[in-house]
Chain A
Amino acid sequence: MADNLLSIMTFFPLVGMIALLFLPRDNDAMLKSFALAVSLITFLISLPLAFDNVFKTSGGMHYREFYEWIHVGEFFQMNYNVGIDGISLWLVMLTTFIMPIAILSTWNAVKKNTKGFMAMLLLLQTGMLGAFISLDLFLFYIFWELMLIPMYFLIGIWGGSNRIYAAVKFFIYTAVGSLLMLVGIIFVYYYAIQSGSPVNGFGVQEFYQLNIPYGAQFWLFLAFGFSFAIKVPMFPLHTWLPDAHTEAPTAGSVILAAVLLKMGTYGYVRFAMPLFPEALQTFIPFLAFLSVVGIIYGSLVAMMQEDVKKLVAYSSVAHLGFVMLGLFALNMQGMAGGMLQMINHGISTGALFLIVGFLYERRHTRQISEFGGLATKMPIFATIFLIITFSSIGLPGTNGFVGEFLALMGAFESNLRWYAVFATTGVILAAVYMLWVYQRIMFGKVTNPANENIKDLSAREIVIMAPLLLFVFWIGIYPNTFFDKMNPALEQLLEQMNNQQVAIVEVVQPVVAKVVDTK
């Protein structure tokens, strides 16, 4: 079991999806329970990973599995090559953790074609987990693209009124980016072969050792970085996100925010940054600038939204700006803060989308102006919403504070000092738009008669929110549980990126010396 833990975890939802297809199509309760059971079992399978102390001591890859997959002589070779380290560990856990919550949240929301909906969710989970555990670029690409298909249908079939536009936009944006990355992947592979360095299929760890010349790195970083930047999404490639989020059903929004966006940031940490460190140095000022613009722009636009779901979507753009800024700091604080902020964003924004979902289920509108004074009618909801709001703002004691603080501190201590200064205004803006929307929805008098009989959260809804609240405080008060296992991997990553730059300098300098000599 332990040998194949990652594979079992990854493909269990797929097996569950296939089994689901044989269940009767009309029995909604059975379909939902079955999907929930599958996602819960997947979570249980993944649970031993979180308690494994090996991540505290070693930053390398663990739970490795390796099988030959496509071997075509000297043409190309791909392997089933998977494993996780402290970086992917928490993202994997986030995925398996958020999935049962997402499924539970659809209990009353999805009425049309439940079977297809559940099947798509489970397929999506296999795609997401596979992308996080892949150590072979070809395999990663397969899972990366596999995520597109279910998300497309989730938005397109079960989404809101403008769903077709949103679904197609989502699909084409992400696909264009990843197709360019595919060219980059193939190029890296043949570069590795032709330069004679040892390769292991498309294994990314072997590619880390390559000394790709700067000229090629530039274009490769552009190809990879563009693809991941669309997914993050970074300003100005973010325009698909508000559409997709607004139109997607609640479960789709939760997964999109909690996990899918992390694919982009994870792609930077795992692939774009360590593979092309020299080009990264060139692009960092530009990317950091875009991150800061994203933070400020996202916050300002969020402030002006009439639709609460759009507001949360734009706040995502801002939050991921913090993540990216932390990562580009390229020091321990920044990277750790960025990584933790990925998890935080998954929890708090996921929770915010659930909250929007609760409101929508009750009133079938998301216009902020339709609400007001709900605090008296829904005390439990008010409490939970407030906690999540604080977490999203980054109030000390909640998870958001730790991540944002570290990310900003890291950036401040690196070359990105002035970027960090401007980014900090985003924290204030976040407080403005979040507290303002909370005030408009919850406080004051009930002016709209439709809100008179609004019901407080049901037991199911409280059960959905409880685990999220637990982690809001856990990460906020004792984040070391997470840092302990993340840090060795991040240290190794930073060390290796520094070595690579040194290695390139060593290769280049003798050549330069030679040129000088001949003169």
Chain B
Amino acid sequence: MENLVQEAIQNVNLHAVMPSLILTVAGMVLLLVAVFSPRGKTAHIAWLSIAALIVAGIVTIMGWNDTQYGFAGSVQLDNFAAFFSMICIIAAGLAILMSDEYLKRENFPVGEYYPLILITTAGAMWMVSGTDLITIFLGIEVLSVSLYILAGFFRDQVRCNEAGLKYFFLGAFSTGFLLYGMALLYGVSGTTKIYDIGAYIQANPDVTTNIMFIAGGLLMLTGFFFKIAAAPFHMWTPDVYQGAPTPITAFMSAGPKAAAFAALIRVTFICLEGMQDQLITVFWVLAVLTMTIGNLIALNQKDLKRMLAYSSIAHAGYAMVGLVAWNEIGSAGILFYMLVYTFMNMGAFAILVLIGRSGEANLTLDGVAGLGYKQPMLGVAFCIFLFALMGLPPTAGFTGKFYIFAGAINSGYIWLAVIGVLNSAVSLYYYLRIMIYMYFKEPEEDYSWVKIYPATAVSIVISVIGVLYLGIVPGSIMQLARMAGF
């Protein structure tokens, strides 16, 4: 017993959790700072949170190509984890940038908001670096619980409450699946470490026909599918995305979703490799369902937030094409795509933050009629994000999709790629519709209430630069994704 404790202490290796540790500590300190700050003053907390994110980002980047193992092999900070951690950090940073003025406008400037984002990000980092089912579960829970609060943050708005509650119930439900699956896998293999489970299956190939193993794997995957909002487990997404505060919606659709993808990739590629053939079929069907359902329902949406929610379901479907490919190009493609998606989607939501009126009254198609003439810079930026979401060159949306579809075609899934590009074609219609309202219709209002908040503008500029950089000279980042992929 003493030996075990000693070994565990030797195995701790704080380097492996340093970035998330920084965010956790910063989050807790800032919670205290928030308590002692005068009510309504939150800007300094936002800036301190951004500082903490920058420090965590630098630490993450410094650990590139220097894999750290910690906590007796239950945490592994490798390039894969570092890449996804950076995505989460960028998402959190952009969300915080667009939050402060937004919270003031919505009359709810409460300091606890920022520490919660930091803690969500820390949870996401445990998810992406966890190599033990328990660690991954812990990460998911930390992330989810903070997000439940954030999704329902405006406690006096009914819609926001609905979002929080719905997210909580369905999230808890999906966690049940996840945990049950993990328990069954443990029952089969006698361990929760994913590398050991993988090795166990390699040693005992007949276990893949064991009903307990199959049920465990599928139940666990179901939990992940909830988190990435893959159809038919996507039902919570539109309501939650529509009701949650816009910056949180933006964050949820990028950071936590990327983290869920990371955990999903790690678990399937290492732990469930023995089920590859069956899983590819599952992923194939779900990828097609997810993108088709997302795009088809988005066609009919008039509310911009809801439209982007369905579009985010569709984009999860595109990313899943990389899972079907089950090769290096595909998995690296998912990494690259999630980064791209972070910039283009968060940029689009940042614009919604600016053009929404208090209470988000006019976030409909009619609400942006003629906006391109009254707010030319916003219009151009919005167009860049929309073209990126469509997947048109020279934006990052194109290179991202190219990476993923290249993976699928390289593995011979040509029909899947065809379905994927046809889905992109469907999506053109509803993205174009926003532009039709922005440019081809005469303005009905003068949009005098639109104020360009400086911090939000910074987040838009960063996103534009990201979208164009990753679209025109993506080579170096694609190379990093390649080094980080499986």
Chain A residues engaging chain B, CB cutoff 8 angstroms: 69-73, 75-76, 113, 141-142, 145-146, 148-149, 152-153, 156-157, 163-164, 167-168, 171-172, 175-176, 179-180, 182-183, 186-187, 190
Contact = CB atoms under 8 A, between A and B. Distances in A.
Nearest to A113: B373
Nearest to B479: A72
B393 A172 contact: no
Interface stretch (B58-66, B136-144, B340-348, B418-426): B418-426
Contacts of B399: 70
A72 B373 contact: no
Interface string B388-432: 000011100011001101100110001001100110110011001
A149 B428 CA distance: 12
Contact of B394 (A73, A146, A168, A186): A146
Nearest to B439: A157
B169 to A, nearest CB: 39
A180 B478 contact: no
B326 to A, nearest CB: 15
A179 B421 contact: yes
A63 to B, nearest CB: 23
A168 B406 CA distance: 28
B428 A183 contact: no
B414 A183 contact: yes
Given A69-B475, A75-B332, A186 B425 contact: no
Contacts of A113: 373
Contacts, number: 90
A145 B392 contact: yes
Q: Would you call the interface of chain B mostly helix, strand, loop, or mixed?
A: helix
Contacts of B428: 171-172, 175
Contacts of B424: 179
A180 B421 CA distance: 7
B112 to A, nearest CB: 43
Given A148-B392, A179-B425, A190 B410 contact: yes
6 contacts: A70-B399, A72-B478, A72-B482, A145-B393, A179-B424, A183-B405
A157 B422 contact: no
Contacts of B479: 71-73
Nearest to A145: B393
Contacts of A163: 440
Given A146-B394, A172-B428, A183 B440 contact: no
Q: Would you call the interface of chain A mostly helix, strand, loop, or mixed?
A: helix
9 residue pairs, one from A and one from B, having the closest CB atoms: A179-B421, A70-B475, A142-B393, A72-B478, A176-B425, A186-B409, A156-B440, A145-B393, A183-B417
A172 B429 contact: yes
B78 interface: no
B393 A187 contact: no
A183 B410 contact: no
Q: How large is the interface on B (under 10, 10 to 19, 20 to 34, 35 or more residues)?
A: 35 or more
Nearest to B480: A72
Nearest to A186: B409
Contact of B436 (A69, A145, A146, A156): A156
Contact of A153 (B332, B392, B439): B439
A172 B429 CA distance: 8
A69 B478 CA distance: 12
Contact of B421 (A69, A70, A183): A183
A354 B409 CA distance: 46
Contact of A186 (B406, B422, B482): B406
Nearest to B481: A72
A190 B332 CA distance: 17
Contacts of B478: 70, 72, 75
Given A72-B482, A183-B414, 6 more contacts: A69-B475, A141-B393, A146-B393, A175-B425, A183-B409, A183-B417
A72 B424 CA distance: 24
A176 to B, nearest CB: 5
A180 B428 CA distance: 14
B432 A168 contact: yes
B443 interface: no
B328 interface: yes
A180 B439 contact: no
Contacts of B436: 156, 164, 167-168
Contacts of A146: 393-394
A71 B477 CA distance: 11
B444 to A, nearest CB: 16
B171 interface: no
Contacts of A76: 329, 406
A129 B398 CA distance: 21
A227 to B, nearest CB: 11
B440 A176 contact: no
Contacts of A183: 405, 409, 414, 417-418, 421
B482 A171 contact: no
A70 B480 CA distance: 12
Nearest to A112: B373
Given A73-B479, A145-B393, A168 B329 contact: no
Contacts of A72: 475, 478-479, 482
A186 B417 contact: yes
Nearest to A25: B376
A372 B392 CA distance: 46
Nearest to B424: A179
Nearest to B387: A149
A69 B394 CA distance: 14
A186 B432 contact: no
Nearest to A191: B409
Contacts of A176: 422, 425
B474 interface: yes
Contact of B482 (A73, A141, A168): A73
Q: Which of B332, B393, B418 has the largest number of chain A CB atoms within 10 A?
A: B393
A186 B429 contact: no
A190 B409 contact: yes
Contacts of B440: 156-157, 163-164, 167
Contacts of A70: 399, 473-475, 478
A113 B473 CA distance: 32
Contacts of A71: 475, 479
Interface string B311-331: 000000000000000001100
Nearest to A168: B432
